[in-house]
Structure 1
């Protein structure tokens, strides 16, 4: 039997957790079920992640990092506002192509909000920071720090709202229309700075 490296095993557990949460909900995401989904012994899961909170945070971190590649493609010659609007458009597109990831992200956040509010605050802060870095990477110093923070928070709020609404109504055309409206609002806000 081939040995699997710790980092590869860690990623297997993260992917299995995403799958289990998306299929069964967080309440039914037992470590035993996650280990089975990862095709690994339960002891290995507990060796890699000492607590369930540690595992859930690693999953959330992974969910923040996954779509980052889609945020680095600004249209050539675009204004800062157009670039940030495109980032929102790409985020929505990426998550709608991976609906299980959106479901898992919402489940984890609301579970943390109820059970571990400090972790929920940390997750939100990490999301803001990742968004600020992505925006800065695309538009450079077009926004000062206060404006960058404001735009990052709005981007996250719009993104979360769009995906939550889409989870409820399931209408792709409506989501695309609402996304374009949100992109227009972001573009106007960034342009106002």
Structure 2
């Protein structure tokens, strides 16, 4: 049997953790269950991730890097307002295509908020920064730095709110309609800038 590199194992564990958290919640995401879902020995998990918090942070890091990779090629709208709305639409579309990721992200953030507030703060800061970079790539210098930061925070809050609501109601049609309402509101805000 060929040996697998630590980076590939790491990704296997991250993907397995997302699946386990989505199915069983963070409280029941034991390292044994995660290792089994990854099809790997428990010792390998502990070799790659020294603590469960390290694993959870890697999962969260993955959960905001993956959707933002989808934003690297957001089609530019005719205005900064249109483009900003499209960034929001693309993020929600990514989560629609990856429902386990949407559930795991919410579960993991609330777990961190209760159990490791410093980690939760770091997660939020990194998410804001990644969103700001994606938005800046999409609209260039059309928005001033201060407004770019505010719009990025609002984008994160809209994505979080929409995905949490979707977890509660489970209605994809409703999520799409609410996303379009949020996109329209965001576009109006950016256009008024």
TM-score > 0.5, shorter chain as reference: yes
8 Å contact from structure 2 (residues 128, 152) kept in 1: yes
Matches of 1:53 and 1:17, distance apart in 2: 12
Q: Which residue of 2 aligns with 1:48?
A: 48
Q: Which residue of 1 aligns with 2:25?
A: 25
8 Å contact from structure 1 (residues 70, 87) kept in 2: no
Matches of 1:34 and 1:166, distance apart in 2: 25
* Deviation at residue 134 of structure 1 after TM alignment: 0.2
The one-character-per-residue Cα deviations of 1:118-156 (angstroms, maximum 9, x if unpaired) are: 100000000000000000011111112110110001111
**How many corresponding residue pairs?**
193
- Superposition TM-score, scaled by structure 1 size: 0.96
Q: Which residue of 2 aligns with 1:72?
A: 72
Q: Which residue of 2 aligns with 1:124?
A: 124
**RMSD (Å) for aligned C-alpha atoms:** 1.1
Q: Which residue of 1 aligns with 2:13?
A: 13
The one-character-per-residue Cα deviations of 1:66-97 (angstroms, maximum 9, x if unpaired) are: 11232233435521110010010111111011
* Pairing 1:104-119 to 2, within 5 Å after superposition: 104-119=104-119
Matches of 2:109 and 2:79, distance apart in 1: 33
8 Å contact from structure 2 (residues 112, 119) kept in 1: yes
- Superposition TM-score, scaled by structure 2 size: 0.96
Matches of 1:33 and 1:16, distance apart in 2: 9
Matches of 1:115 and 1:31, distance apart in 2: 17
1:187 and 2:187 aligned = yes
Matches of 1:76 and 1:9, distance apart in 2: 37
8 Å contact from structure 1 (residues 26, 108) kept in 2: yes
Gaps of 5+ in 1: none
Change in Cα spacing, 1:99 to 1:80, as seen in structure 2 (3 Å) is: same
Q: Which residue of 1 aligns with 2:167?
A: 167
Change in Cα spacing, 1:173 to 1:42, as seen in structure 2 (3 Å) is: same
Matches of 2:126 and 2:52, distance apart in 1: 19
Q: Which residue of 1 aligns with 2:98?
A: 98
